[in-house]
């Protein structure tokens, strides 16, 4: 199934069984940073790396296909994202999601991207993609329910509009696109795509059994993307950790143009 077919199915189903709307939002990084559900972690990851024997010789290609939670992977990937944004800006949207009952926004995918943006480019203008669920607005309204309405926003109602956000207009795209019903994701349905599973974290404080047979919940869809661009760059443009993380004095390290302290 092609990506365009997936998108056509998503938007067709959204019209047949309304759940809310998918919107693109124009804002600055600093506009959303206060709502992030995670503090900056570059210093913590760097500290773990420099406490690893022989860390300077770690190679990015060796981590390109590995566990994304490992500190060396984080440091290599964030560096690649930083270089990309420095050269050409942000070319794809940041994906934001409401963390129900916590007044927070989570980021997935794009969690490494937002780390770079918040740390190094806080005043950069970006485009965000956001699912505005009628279910949450009705049953779990809070400060962030309609956060995006104070900014310039546009409903995304077609495959063409969606692909345009990524600079794509053809049948086969450079990214993999998928969607599923939120209820399937929350209930750990074995058939759901692994890339949609982070959605569960955003709704895990909601007892959906209290909303059995509620159409607003049954209709709720989640659309997401996956790409391997920066993993690919880590492999084909191999660098050593010592090339991107340099000790400038005891306990001080320069990374992405900024000096960090490991104490």
Helix (H) or strand (E) holding 176: strand 176-181
Q: Rounded to an integer, what distance in angstroms lies between the CA atom of residue 72 and that of residue 247?
A: 16
Tokens describing residue 223: 């659309």
Q: Quickly state the pLDDT bin for 14 (edges 50, 70, 90).
A: very high
Q: Rounded to an integer, what distance in angstroms lies between the CA atom of residue 193 and that of residue 180?
A: 8
Please determine, for residue 173, whether its predicted confidence score (pLDDT) is greater than 80: no
Tokens describing residue 169: 């207009």
Omega prior to 133 cis, within 30 of 0: no
Q: Quickly state the pLDDT bin for 69 (edges 50, 70, 90).
A: confident
Q: Rounded to an integer, what distance in angstroms lies between the CA atom of residue 186 and that of residue 200?
A: 5
Mean pLDDT, rounded, of the chain: 90
Query: Each residue of 24-35: b (16+ CB within 10 Å) or e?
Result: bbebebebbeeb
Q: What is the mean pLDDT of residues 78-96?
A: 93
Q: Rounded to an integer, what distance in angstroms lies between the CA atom of residue 174 and that of residue 59?
A: 26
Q: What are the structural domain ranges in the chain?
A: 18-175+229-261
Residue 129 Cα distances to 21, 41, 242, 245, angstroms: 11, 23, 36, 32
| Predicted pLDDT of residue 129 | 97
Strands 245-249 and 221-226 come out as: unpaired
Tens-digit pLDDT profile for residues 186-220:
987 778 898 898 889 999 999 888 998 999 999 99
Highest mean pLDDT: which range of 36-40, 174-178, 196-200, 214-218 = 214-218
């Amino acid at each position: 199934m092609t990506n365009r077919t997936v998108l056509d199915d998503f938007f067709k189903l959204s019209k047949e069984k309304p759940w809310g709307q998918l919107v693109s939002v124009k804002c600055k990084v600093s506009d959303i940073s206060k709502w992030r559900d995670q503090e900056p972690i570059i210093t913590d990851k760097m500290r773990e790396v420099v406490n690893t024997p022989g860390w300077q010789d770690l190679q990015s290609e060796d981590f390109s296909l590995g566990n994304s939670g490992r500190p060396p992977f984080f440091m290599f990937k964030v560096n690649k994202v930083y270089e990309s944004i420095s050269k050409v800006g942000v070319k794809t949207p940041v994906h934001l999601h409401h963390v129900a009952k916590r007044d927070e926004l989570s980021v997935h995918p794009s969690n490494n991207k937002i780390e770079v943006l918040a740390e190094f480019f806080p005043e950069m203008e970006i485009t965000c993609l956001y699912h505005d669920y009628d279910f949450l607005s009705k049953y779990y309204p809070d400060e962030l329910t309609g956060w995006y309405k104070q900014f310039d926003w546009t409903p995304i109602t077609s495959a063409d509009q969606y692909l345009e956000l990524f600079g794509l207009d053809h049948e086969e795209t450079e990214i993999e696109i998928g969607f599923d019903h939120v209820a399937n994701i929350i209930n750990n349905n074995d058939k759901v795509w692994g890339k949609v599973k982070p959605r569960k974290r955003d709704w895990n404080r909601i007892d959906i059994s209290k909303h059995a047979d509620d159409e607003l919940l049954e209709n709720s869809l989640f659309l997401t993307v996956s790409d391997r661009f920066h993993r690919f760059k880590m492999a084909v443009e191999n660098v050593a950790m010592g090339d991107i993380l340099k000790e400038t004095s005891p306990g001080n390290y320069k990374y992405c143009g900024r000096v960090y302290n490991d104490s």
